[in-house]
Amino acid sequence: MIQARPFLKWAGGKRQLLNELESNFPSYIKEKKEIDVYIEPFIGGGALFFYLQSEYTIKKSIINDINSDLMLTYKVIKFFPKELIKKLEKINKEYEKLNEEKRKEYYYKKLREPYNKIKVDINKLERDSWIKKASLLIALNKTCFNGLFRQNSKGEFNVPIGRYKNPKILDKENIRNVSEILQDTEILCGNYNDINIDNKSKAFIYFDPPYRPLSETSSFTKYSKGDFNDENQKELANYFKKLANKKHFLILSNSNPKNTNPKDNFFHELYKGFKIKEVSAKRYINSKSTGRGKITELLIKNY
C-alpha cells in the first residue's frame, strides 16, 4: 500500500479526528480493511481519504469539492506529476535563496499575482496553464498565512504571506505517491449533490461539509463559493436522508452547537432518527458558557 498525506494545508482538515472517525466505521469495513466504493463529496485536503488509501484496500474512490482550483490541482497531480514537480522545484530554488524582504516581493509578484491572472477551466484541458496554476496554488498554500484559501468577491486569492523560515514548497515523494493513489480515483468538481451515485452498489460515503459556526462571534471559515449557511445544512440533511434509504453507509461530521449553547438542538433535530455521537475534538475554544475547554464535534451515521 502507498503511504501518502494531504499535499495542502486545508481549513477544517480532519487529521485530528482520524481516530474517532475510524472507530466509527461500519464493522464490515473495520474487519476486512476493504472498501468497494469510497465517496467523499467535500474532499478539501483529504485527510481521511489519504489515511484510508494508506491503510485500507479501496477498489474505487470518488472525490469532489466545489473549489475548482483545488480539484484542478488533484487532476494535475494525477496526470502530470513530473511536470508539476519540475515547476515546484524551480519555485523552491528561487524562493529558498531569498532574504525575508525579497521573499515578500516574490510571494506577491511571482506567486500571487500570476496565480490570479491565469484563467483555467477545469472542464477544458490546457496542460501548461493547468500545471502552472496547480504549482502556484501549492506554493502559495505552503507560504501564505496559515495555509488559508480565501478569495475576494472577484474571485482573487487574497491571503497575505505567512511567516515560515523553511516552508516545504516541494515534497517530491508525497506528490508521486498521491499521484499513484489518484490513478484509481475519479476526481469531480461541483456541488456535493451533483455526484452521480450508483445506487445498485454499496458505497461508504464520508461527508465533511463546512462546519456550522459555533456562535455568532466565532470566526467562520469562508470557502471559495460563499458561506455554507443553515439553509445549506438543512439541504444537506435532506440529501443525507435520501441516500440513507439506499444501501449506502453514510457518516457525516459537523460542529456541536452545544459547546456554546447547550439548548441548541439544530443537528439533533435535523438528523433525528440517525445515530449522533459527540466525539472529542482535539481543539479548544474560548467561550462564555464553558470557559476555556475542550470541545466536542458530532459524528452522524446511518448505521
Ligand X SMILES: C[S@@+](CC[C@H](N)C(=O)[O-])C[C@H]1O[C@@H](n2cnc3c(N)ncnc32)[C@H](O)[C@@H]1O
Q: Which residues bind ligand X (CB under 6 A)?
A: 10, 12-14, 41-42, 44-47, 65-67, 191-192, 208-210, 223-224, 228
Q: How far is the CB of 129 from ligand X (least distance, A)?
A: 21
Residue 296 DSSP SS3: strand
Q: How far is the CB of 98 from ligand X (least distance, A)?
A: 30
Nearer to ligand X, 47 or 62 (CB): 47
Beta strands in the chain (DSSP E): 34-40, 57-65, 185-189, 203-207, 249-255, 275-287, 291-301
Q: How far is the CB of 228 from ligand X (least distance, A)?
A: 5
Nearer to ligand X, 45 or 81 (CB): 45
Closest CA to 188 of 141, 122, 121: 122
Nearer to ligand X, 201 or 229 (CB): 229
Q: How far is the CB of 165 from ligand X (least distance, A)?
A: 25
Nearer to ligand X, 10 or 95 (CB): 10
Nearer to ligand X, 24 or 95 (CB): 24
For 221, phi then psi, to 5°, come to -70, 125
Nearer to ligand X, 14 or 87 (CB): 14
Q: How far is the CB of 245 from ligand X (least distance, A)?
A: 21
Q: How far is the CB of 169 from ligand X (least distance, A)?
A: 19
CB-based contacts of 300, cutoff 8 Å, min separation 6: 240, 251, 252, 253, 254, 267, 271, 274, 275, 276, 277
Neighbours of 88 (CB within 10 A): 22
Residue 30 DSSP SS3: helix
Evaluate whether 34 touches 98 at the Cβ level (below 8 Å).
no
Q: How far is the CB of 48 from ligand X (least distance, A)?
A: 6
26/303 Cα distance (integer angstroms): 7
Closest CA to 39 of 255, 248, 277: 248
Taking each helix axis from N to C end, the angle separating 127-143 and 68-79, rounded to the nearest 10 degrees, works out to 110
Nearer to ligand X, 103 or 256 (CB): 256
